Amino acid sequence: MLKRASGNVDHVTEKRLVLWDIDLTLVDLRGLGGAWYTSALASVTGATLTELPSFPGRTEKAITTELLTAHGIEPTDELIEKIWAELEALSLQALPTLADYGHALPGAAAALSTMAGREDVVQSLVTGNLPEVARHKLSAFGLHEHIDFEIGGYGTLSTHRPDLVAFARARAAERHGTRFAPDAVVVIGDTPHDIEAGLHHGAVAVGVATGKHSEAELRDSGAHTVLPDLSDTSAVLAAVLGS
């Protein structure tokens, strides 16, 4: 069940809450998810993976549930938790050499550090990843230093990605003792799922065409701004600040 953060929040902040996606927005580690799920499924259930769900823009809870169902296995909460524990163990095991399997995307480091240098921006995540896997993926490329992981929305929370945005916004409000208006929340990602999750809550949605979806597809999904990548830091900043 999705837990909502609580707290006494009386005023609206002038800060922006920037919620980053990870895979194919900040880093490219294509292929690892499938490999880890193949190993986790075999280790936990003894089954051989024959069908892999779609990953982009989806939550770990949705992916794991679909994976087990596709292999004729009832996706109980207990079994899902065991799969996740195995995925986290595989991620931790791979951490020392994780950077060898992929790369940080152009401009990611500069965009994160530039945002971190501003007093009017709070940075966290809305990602389909498990919390620890998210931390490993970013730390492998030195991208973790400017992210507040404690207020992020992660793929363990719900099969419905918009729930992750609501959770992160509530956690950020609780931590900062203030309320982030819907249009002060900025969701940045590479899939229509990211865009739709932000729009569902009235947030600013920024598309980055570094994944499987084109600029046109992201624009058609309703993104307020679409960038080819994050290499133009001034353009990223303008998209976030609405200037």
Strands 103-104 and 27-28: antiparallel
State the amino acid at position 70 in one-letter form: A
Rounded distance between C-alpha atoms, residue 3 and residue 169, angstroms = 13
Say how many C-beta atoms besides its own lie within 10 A of residue 224's C-beta.
18
* Contact criterion met (CB below 8 Å) for 108 and 143: yes
Record the pTM.
0.93
- Could you read off the pLDDT of 120-130 as tens digits, one per residue? 999 999 999 99
Identify whether the C-beta of residue 36 lies closer than 8 Å to the C-beta of residue 91: yes
How many residues appear in the chain?
A: 243
pLDDT tens digit sequence for 101-121: 999 999 999 999 999 999 999
- The answer on pLDDT for 203 being more than 90 is yes
Using DSSP bridges, classify how beta strands 225-227 and 204-208 pair: parallel, antiparallel or unpaired.
Answer: parallel
Q: What is the mean pLDDT of residues 51-59?
A: 92
| Helix (H) / strand (E) containing 166 | helix 161-176
